[in-house]
Amino acid sequence: MNHTDNSLMAWPHQVPSPAMHTLADAHFIRGLEWGPPEWWQQWQRQRLAQMLHWLDAMPWWLGWVGAKVGPDSHTEALAGLPLMRREDYRALNEAHEPVVPAEHGKLTMESTSGSSGVSVKFWRSEMTLRINANHYWADHQRQGRDLTQRMAAISGYAAFNEGPHRQEAGEPWLQPGMQLVRAISQFSTEDHALWLCSHPFTYLATRPDVLSDILSTINMLNLAAPRLTQILTYAQTVDAALRKRTREAFGASIRDRYACEEVGPIAFQCPESDDFYHCAVGNVVVEVVDAQGLPVTDGAQGNVLVTGLHQWASPAVRYELGDLANWHACCPACGVSVPALSHLLGGKRPEFVGLQP
């Protein structure tokens, strides 16, 4: 394997800083998920208390919550805070200039497209982006992926490129395998299907609707489907029929990630089940509430609320995504002691439109 980046040669004397952060963050992300429940519960209390204490000094925030929450606030105090709807989030972000502690780094402005929902502009800090990205890297470990292997990405976020794809050379520390990336909208579904069938890959990352269209095209054109190991999906509901078609055509399993742009990853599919998702306790507090805003009982369905623990620039606290899910105090499939979700259904979020049963 040849890498232009030979930074591995300098170990153990030197370790590149990005690799160091990713590995250390992934260590804590996995530890909070796989360790005893007291770890993530205590850690979330501390992070939430820090964030709410910081926000107590912001007049616009006090205007929203009504009164200071205080330095001793913790996860239980969340229940006393108002639900934040998408309209509220937009109004709050328009009404204040973002301020974060210096260690959170620089801020960048982002927006969700909101083609049929409410478009929102928000800010994210370097720390937020780092933690979000490293949650996705930790998922490679969770799902037992071999990152020396090649990955294809047909992405809604990728920029247009010259030629059939953009080639991202591997780097020896975190992802030695090559990645070939192309934008969803730059090519037709037939182009995507032909491209996928003509390159050897182990993994594919794409949206469920794109995957479904590619599967149909492969079937229609009678193409020889490549053998893949895992397909990483995002942004839309994955149903059992799509999992079955994927298994039959590619021999691959789907490993879904549940996220939103405002706070990043919310839950990752259990590595031992198609049905359950482990809440990303190192990034968000997830609540599932009924129509009265009260927590649902174990196994029951309700509205998903998220609180981003690293999103201090544009705080999303008890943010109502408009998604429905069933709540589990721990994962019924593998027994890990973090809260888990099942029967995920997109509601009002633009990404989910058209996919509701």
Partner 1 sequence: MNWPAELPASTVHRVTDAQAQLALERSGTTLIAAWQTQRVAELLQWLLDSVPWWRERLGPQVNLGHWRALPILNRMELRKMVAVHGAAPVPQHHGSVSAYHLAGPPGGVVRFYTSAFSQRMVDHSFYADHQRQARNPYASHACISDDIPLHEGRHIAVAASLENGSGPQALRQLGLFTRMEHMQWLQSEKPTYLTATPQWLEAALDETQRRRMALPEIRQLLTYGATVPTTLRTKARKQLGASVRHRYTCLECGPLAFQCPRSDDYFHVAVGNVMLEVVNDAGKPCVAVKDGATAPSGQVLVTALHQYATPMLRHDIGDSAVLHAACPGCGLEVPTLSHLRQGV
Q: What is the contact surface with partner 1 in residues (CB under 8 A)? A: 1-3, 6, 8-9, 11-13, 15, 19-21, 23-28, 30-32, 34-36, 39, 42-43, 46, 103, 127, 130-131, 141, 144, 148, 172-174, 176, 310
One-letter identity of residue 105: G
Q: Are strands 120-125 and 151-155 parallel, antiparallel or unpaired?
A: unpaired
* Structure tokens given for 76: 């239980």
> Phi and psi dihedrals of 68, rounded to 5?
-60, 140
Q: How far is the CB of 230 from partner 1 (least distance, A)?
A: 15
Q: How far is the CB of 68 from partner 1 (least distance, A)?
A: 23
Specify the residue, 89 or 203, whose C-beta has the smaller distance to partner 1: 203
Q: How far is the CB of 340 from partner 1 (least distance, A)?
A: 17
Specify the residue, 138 or 252, whose C-beta has the smaller distance to partner 1: 138
* Cα separations in angstroms, 322 against 76, 145, 176, 339: 22, 32, 38, 19
* Structure tokens given for 92: 């709050």
Specify the residue, 27 or 244, whose C-beta has the smaller distance to partner 1: 27
Q: How far is the CB of 41 from partner 1 (least distance, A)?
A: 11
Q: How far is the CB of 338 from partner 1 (least distance, A)?
A: 12
Instruction: Please report where in the chains the tokens 């095209």 appear, as a residue.
Output: 217
Alpha helices, H only, 103-164: 126-142
Specify the residue, 127 or 181, whose C-beta has the smaller distance to partner 1: 127
Specify the residue, 111 or 148, whose C-beta has the smaller distance to partner 1: 148
* Cα angle 208-209-214, degrees, rounded to a multiple of 5: 95
* Structure tokens given for 83: 């639900």
Q: Which one, of 196, 200, 222, lies nearest residue 211 by Cα?
A: 196
Q: How far is the CB of 49 from partner 1 (least distance, A)?
A: 12
Specify the residue, 132 or 303, whose C-beta has the smaller distance to partner 1: 132
Alpha helices, H only, the chain: 17-34, 37-55, 59-65, 86-95, 126-142, 189-198, 208-220, 240-250
Specify the residue, 83 or 178, whose C-beta has the smaller distance to partner 1: 178
Specify the residue, 12 or 357, whose C-beta has the smaller distance to partner 1: 12
User: Is residue 157 classed exposed, middle or buried when 0-12, 13-18 and 19+ CB atoms within 10 A define those classes?
Assistant: exposed
Specify the residue, 1 or 241, whose C-beta has the smaller distance to partner 1: 1
Tell me the residue ranges of DSSP E strands in the chain.
107-112, 120-125, 151-155, 166-168, 179-183, 203-206, 230-234, 253-260, 264-269, 276-279, 284-289, 301-308, 319-328, 340-345
Q: How far is the CB of 228 from partner 1 (least distance, A)?
A: 19
Calculated CA dihedral for residues 230, 234, 239, 245, nearest 10 degrees:
-40
Distance CA 154, CA 196 (A): 10
Q: How far is the CB of 43 from partner 1 (least distance, A)?
A: 6
Distance CA 319, CA 93 (A): 13
- Close Cβ partners of 63 (under 8 Å, ≥ 6 residues apart): none
Q: How far is the CB of 321 from partner 1 (least distance, A)?
A: 24
Specify the residue, 31 or 299, whose C-beta has the smaller distance to partner 1: 31
